[in-house]
Amino acid sequence: MREPRGERKRRANGEESRRRILDAAAEVAGVRGYDGTSIALVSEKCGLPASSIYWHFKNKDDLLAAVIERSFDIWADALTLPGDDTDPAPDRVAALAGQVAKTLLDSPDFLRLGLMLTLERRPEEPSARRMFLQVRDTARARLAAVLATLAPSADRDAIELVTTYAIAAADGLFIAKEIGGDSVDLMPLFDLHARALHDALVRLTTETS
Amino acid sequence: MREPRGERKRRANGEESRRRILDAAAEVAGVRGYDGTSIALVSEKCGLPASSIYWHFKNKDDLLAAVIERSFDIWADALTLPGDDTDPAPDRVAALAGQVAKTLLDSPDFLRLGLMLTLERRPEEPSARRMFLQVRDTARARLAAVLATLAPSADRDAIELVTTYAIAAADGLFIAKEIGGDSVDLMPLFDLHARALHDALVRLTTETS
Amino acid sequence: MREPRGERKRRANGEESRRRILDAAAEVAGVRGYDGTSIALVSEKCGLPASSIYWHFKNKDDLLAAVIERSFDIWADALTLPGDDTDPAPDRVAALAGQVAKTLLDSPDFLRLGLMLTLERRPEEPSARRMFLQVRDTARARLAAVLATLAPSADRDAIELVTTYAIAAADGLFIAKEIGGDSVDLMPLFDLHARALHDALVRLTTETS
Amino acid sequence: MREPRGERKRRANGEESRRRILDAAAEVAGVRGYDGTSIALVSEKCGLPASSIYWHFKNKDDLLAAVIERSFDIWADALTLPGDDTDPAPDRVAALAGQVAKTLLDSPDFLRLGLMLTLERRPEEPSARRMFLQVRDTARARLAAVLATLAPSADRDAIELVTTYAIAAADGLFIAKEIGGDSVDLMPLFDLHARALHDALVRLTTETS
DNA sequence: AATGAATGAGGATTCATTCAT
DNA sequence: AATGAATGAATCCTCATTCAT
């Protein structure tokens, strides 16, 4: 009915198309946020028509949730917790903080989109937001476990408090970097942060013992 | 304020309409972000037709910049820096942190919208974003000055570093509160933060002296 | 920003635009039904852009409900019940039936669209459908009242039965005309129908007396 | 039917798939009409992918025509014309009408979809519509033949008139039932209808003789 | 100071259909 | 006999903005 189109219809390849869509969506959403991410923009970036995106994902919400999920996996994979049990605690905290700083610099889309989703509220919570909060909670649990080994005598609530602070400051530093760009050197900031965490853990240990 | 008697139905009044629009826009934008804030939504919330919004503001960008500006003023007014020069430094830092925590809880729209604007990037930077970064810088300068009086011997770069960290962690704690809601008690977190800042200042003083 | 367009933007005239939209929508919907009536088609027919249609009507559903409402009013206005109380009953029934036949031929959009809406079922009942059933019920009540005066001794249920039959056969004859076009002559059919109604009324009167 | 043993999971089977598609399409189209019946909806209902539907049917039009054809066959099979030539005419008409009423209640999809198709007009007439009008004409011819045996002396045109009226009122009563649901009792209505037909036939016979 | 009406561009999503496998 | 993937056109509707009054 319609002319067969000059360029060969490229061989259908679901796996690859899905990846291309996710790549494009991650790139766009990491920069423009939920509302700012239009299907047309993603379509343009990935080279597939908008209707093809809907073959792979139920809707925009579903797409962005998948973006968050994959971004987290990539980020979590990059984050190899350093050091071993024989190292002194301060060094381990500092190394951990440095590692987090590095991965946030390397793959910032996950956190940037996640924070945007976190701050926005809309009538129907996007499942992308729910997904972010969920994976963030996973990461938080892991960090709490690490901190617990560093301050074995501290009680649960205290560990939770420090964990919350640790993540909050990391979020804030990420934002500071987003704002300041090259004028912000994250390394000394994360050093300062690491020292703050260490001191807090020490204080907890002595106070509760 | 300007209404001489309470009983008269107020006639068309530019000042008042402008305020109603700003109120509505602040409410919407603080929750939905830049893209999510549609003129139609603001119009509905404030009861004035969309075209009237355009009588008071050049465009959406202009409106949101005005929102940011006014929100900052309200926030800054609420933030009366406590204590005087004779109090001991640790108390003053803690009081300051507590004050910031309180105002963020009371009028969160300013920071929430600001952070959303900060994280988003679009082809043409909205002047609302520029406005936020500008007033934020003002606040930052003030904080740096306060910290400088608390650590007189520290050099400029060190003060800048601590200032950046102070603001970053405050941002992060604000977000933590947004996520956690009632399950997050900001007070002990800001206590922890205050202690971290104090220790950092002390360290700076001893290191550089 | 965009060039001001050669043809003068015609002077805004809400009342007239609304009418033009309704005219176009009635024309399209009377032929194509609910699903087949696209906003783009209506827009093309009435000369106003689709977005203008949405200024006048909340959505497609709202538009079509308005179409039904207005079509019914037009139809009901055209339907001047004939005869007076001194005429013999058979003549009055026949005249009434003839009148209905004539108006259905003249302004068929109302009934055609209404019947289409009636037959369709969708997850969310369109308010256009609800509107049709409502005005149809009004017409039904009026007819029942007329028939009651023709068979004063008949009981309520009997009148209801004949009313239902009267309307049903009229619907069916309308459809027959739609199918058959010029090959169907409605007049003898409505004569037959009138006689059937008359006989039924007579039977009711004698049976119940 | 063709399955030799009950226990085997049936393998790909064209006949069975075709039936499943038709079942789903009949269900959807009987409720939603031509436009409202999307291939995606049928696909979901029958469990086969959309592309499989296109393997069995040329296009949507072809599918719906097949639905009409099969629905008519089912309906016609259910309609066993009752009575024999020795019964008195009034009884035979009443029995016939009752039979029609019953089958319409039992398998209403055929008529509902058919009437929807009848009322809609589109640029290209769907073959489903053509199919409905065709089978409807078959049914009509059969009814005319029956009526002719009941009024042997009536002329062709008179029989045609009564046939048209008979079908039209049946259509209308079907619609009344669709609208009124349980509040409409078809039996007395079809009784009334049967009597009207009988009287008309009698009148024809006496008038023309 | 305000607003009813209008409007082109773009929003997400679904459509019927095709085609290589 | 069937299907996963793809696709252009069309769907309804909202967008920011303008303009005559």
For the segment B125-175, what is each residue's pLDDT rounded down to a tens digit?
A: 999 999 999 999 998 998 999 888 888 888 899 999 999 999 999 999 999
Q: How confident is the model at residue B12 (pLDDT cuts 50, 70, 90)?
A: low
Rounded Cα–Cα distance for residues D44 and D50 (Å): 8
B2 pLDDT above the threshold of 50? no
How is residue A8 annotated by DSSP? P
Rounded Cα–Cα distance for residues A203 and A55 (Å): 55
B89 pLDDT above the threshold of 80? no
For B39 and F15, how far is CA from C1' in angstroms? Answer: 9
Q: Which of A34, A179, A196 sits opposite B196 (nearest CB)?
A: A196
Q: Which amino acid is at A178?
A: E
Q: Which amino acid is at C177?
A: K
Q: Which of B35, B112, B172 sits opposite A168 (nearest CB)?
A: B172
pLDDT in tens, A23-58: 999 999 999 999 999 999 999 999 999 999 999 999
| pLDDT given at position C1 | 37
List all nucleotides in chain E with at least one atom under 7 A from a protein Cβ: 1-21
Q: pLDDT 10s digit of each residue in chain D, 209 long?
A: 444 444 333 455 888 999 999 999 999 999 999 999 999 999 999 999 999 999 999 999 999 999 999 999 888 887 766 556 677 777 778 888 888 888 888 878 889 999 999 998 888 899 999 999 999 999 999 899 988 988 888 889 999 999 999 999 999 999 999 999 999 999 999 999 999 999 998 888 776 54
Mean pLDDT of C179-199: 93
CA atoms within 13 A on the CB side of C67: 35
B167 — contact with chain A (CB < 8 Å)? Answer: yes
| pLDDT given at position C84 | 63
Please indicate whether residue A146 or residue B67 has the higher confidence score (pLDDT). Answer: B67
pLDDT in tens, D85-114: 677 777 778 888 888 888 888 878 889 999
Q: How confident is the model at residue B96 (pLDDT cuts 50, 70, 90)?
A: confident
How is residue A21 annotated by DSSP? H
| pLDDT given at position C207 | 62
| pLDDT given at position A185 | 93
Mean pLDDT of A57-81: 90
Q: Backbone phi, then psi, for C5, in 5-degree steps?
A: 75, 130
pLDDT in tens, C62-99: 999 999 999 998 888 887 666 566 777 777 788 888 88
Q: How confident is the model at residue A84 (pLDDT cuts 50, 70, 90)?
A: low
Rounded Cα–Cα distance for residues B142 and D77 (Å): 90
B interface mutation test: which of A192, A197, A204 has the most B CBs within 10 A? A192
pLDDT in tens, C13-59: 889 999 999 999 999 999 999 999 999 999 999 999 999 999 999 99
Q: What does the DSSP assignment read for chain D?
A: ---S-SSSPP---HHHHHHHHHHHHHHHHHHHHHHH--HHHHHHHHSS-HHHHHHHSSSHHHHHHHHHHHHHHHHHHH------TTS-HHHHHHHHHHHHHHHHHH--HHHHHHHHHHH---SSPPHHHHHHHHHHHHHHHHHHHHHHHHSTTS-HHHHHHHHHHHHHHHHHHHHHHHHHGGG--HHHHHHHHHHHHHHHHHHHHHHH-
C109 pLDDT above the threshold of 90? no
User: Is D35 close to C33, i.e. CB distance below 8 A?
Assistant: yes
D20 — contact with chain C (CB < 8 Å)? Answer: no
pLDDT in tens, A164-195: 999 999 999 999 999 998 999 999 999 999 99
Taking C1' of E15 and every protein CA, the nearest residue is D38
B34 pLDDT above the threshold of 70? yes
Taking C1' of F6 and every protein CA, the nearest residue is A52
How is residue B9 annotated by DSSP? P
Name the pTM for this structure: 0.87
A115 — contact with chain B (CB < 8 Å)? Answer: yes
| CA A96 to chain CA mean position, Å | 16
Give the residue from chain A lying closest to B112, CA to CA.
A119
Q: Could you tell me the end-to-end alpha-carbon distance of chain B, in angstroms, rounded to an integer?
A: 55
Tokens standing for residue C186: 């409605």
> Does an H or E element contain B20, and which?
helix B14-36
| pLDDT given at position C161 | 95
Residue percentage of chain C with pLDDT more than 70: 89
Pick from C183, C149, C184: nearest CA to C163? C149
Chains B and A in direct contact, meaning 3 or more beta-carbon pairs closer than 8 angstroms:
yes
Rounded Cα–Cα distance for residues A99 and A170 (Å): 11
Residue percentage of chain B with pLDDT more than 70: 89
| pLDDT given at position A140 | 93
User: Is the CB of residue A132 less than 8 Å from the CB of residue A170?
Assistant: no
User: Is the CB of residue A190 less than 8 Å from the CB of residue A98?
Assistant: yes
Residue percentage of chain A with pLDDT more than 90: 58
Rounded Cα–Cα distance for residues A192 and A169 (Å): 11
